[in-house]
Structure 1
Amino acid sequence: MSQATTAGYDALLLISFGGPEGPDDVIPFLENVTRGRGIPRERLAKVGEHYHLFGGVSPINGQCRELKAAVEADLAAHGLADLPVYWGNRNWDPYLTDTVRRMTDDGVRRAAAFVTSAYDGYSCCGQYAQDIERARAEVPGAPEIDKLRVYYNHPGFVEPFVEAARAALADLPDDLRDGAHLVFSAHSVPLSQPGRELYQAQLEDVSAYVAEHAAPGRPWRLVYQSRSGPPTQPWLEPDIGDHLEDLHAAGVRAVVNVPIGFVSDHMEVKYDLDVEAAGTADELGLTFRRAATPGTHPRFVSMVRELVQERAGTDRPALGSLGPRPDTCGECR
């Protein structure tokens, strides 16, 4: 394996949020997610009902396994089969610290870390950088771990959304397609969260790019979903449900939801969009289609390898108007 082709890394680390894998895991998982925030247990039980609709299993761990396998196959196809791929989570097994300990035991010296979150902002970027620092501090002799750059406007993330938006529009009935609106959605965050302005600007920029290349001239708007804070705390708006009501009142008959803020179909997509938002649309009489997330799209999978390899060179592709992001995300910690 050439050091030039892997930028001197001897391992790739996939880092994700984690999720329960059975009914008994749901409340302990939610306790991990909300630790230190004083969330009442009855509130956790209410949120847990979303997971129980899916057998107590979040899709995210299965999706990480699929992504890991796809990345390993892509590396092998490009002569990099001996670059091992590890996986660790913030909130559930396999925990990141345990994975870093295994990497240390395996003799890994320097690893690149790919996070399943595409944007800047504290919860998307800065918190993962802190997770890496914390895990390394808990493991004597831990390898050096470099978090790969934010990739929200990398062609490997954007092009699958263009393709998916076109496919969702094509799936609408012929008599509704021309008048359908695009509704881009992303996880809401508090207005006070570090990096929020950059997060919002990136979402607007990539949404505009996807709208223009998937359906030029079609009406679109960026909205937010999955809010979890107290009503007194200002969060990014409008909420997707409120926007669907506004579209219905304006006489719109069909929408295509593009979950631009998400890498894969985890719970915020499968429940908050496929159940809640789709249910709201149904009640309003709006025809609703949801575009696919990148998941294990071949272009997204190859992007992971490209992000590692670009650390050895200068080519950093980026679509839209904001340009590629630097390797560090210190401004959003």
Structure 2
Amino acid sequence: MKTSHRFLSALLGLAATAASVSAEPLKIAYSDWPGWVAWEIAIQKGWFKDEGVEVDFQWFDYVPSMDAYVAGKVDAVTMTNGDALVTGATGKPSVCIVINDYSNGNDMIVGAPGIESLKDLKGKKVGVEEGFVDHLLLLTGLEKNGMKPEDVTVVNTPTNETPQVLASKAVDAIGAWQPSSGQALKAVPGSKPIFTSADVPGIIYDGLYVSPESLEKHKDDWAKIMKVWYKVADYIRDEENLDDALKILSARVKITPEEYEPFLKGTYILTLDEALERWKKTDGLGSIYGSSKIVDDFNLKFGVYEKSQDIDKYLDPSLTKAFAGSKD
């Protein structure tokens, strides 16, 4: 019996649909940082469905998001370039395919009342989570002010506890990122930022890090996710969309748009062209490669891990470059 082409096409179409329905969505852990909360815009507006890619964004606190990734519960996680190195050295490697932003003021060293500058901290205590990005921010600030690490006493403090520790007067300053840094400023009247990531732009890059296995197996889907990100970046950078963007982002973290606006201003969301510049393999903070090398040196010096990491294995600009090329 002959089978018509039309019937075969229908069968193939049904098979493709069934495969699509049964395919597991790509699981992404994200957390409370403006450059990662920004993915919520694409989720709310259905842009992943428009691209034909199934994703499952799962909301975590930051450290548990990395734990979930190491445990294999998700395919990807949003984290800083420095924390990606720590996660890879001590748990499970990952590959950055999207540079969302760099911190532009949200990471802060906050001084108690009477502390006007980093130099005022000589001989005093600073509450900061050792080995995390704001420990690096503190040490960088000290160096830029002609000081040494030994000039302050670091009190190892979980980042989410820094506002309470500053308020308790157990320390003279804290290092934290938003929202904890902002909470510290509110909790202690008269406190102020004395050094921030805006003073060293590029010291902290925030990205989407994918497991190497998932990236190899689902490269086309990850390319679609990367493409959606730049739709988000363009949307959020357009002043006409600011009110809508703030409404979406603030709702995700359950505060008002007015409260959220300073957080967004302290985060430099990168356009495609700006990201391409940051993907260039150069020294210094203007490149994610240079920034990651600085963090690797820091991690080795302070015993966060024992062996220098191969920076190139953590970074893959190929999807971004291919997308940029397709737009030319």
The answer to whether TM tops 0.5 is no
Please indicate the TM-score interval, normalised by the length of the shorter structure.
0.3 to 0.5
Higher helix share: 2
TM, length-normalised to structure 1: 0.34
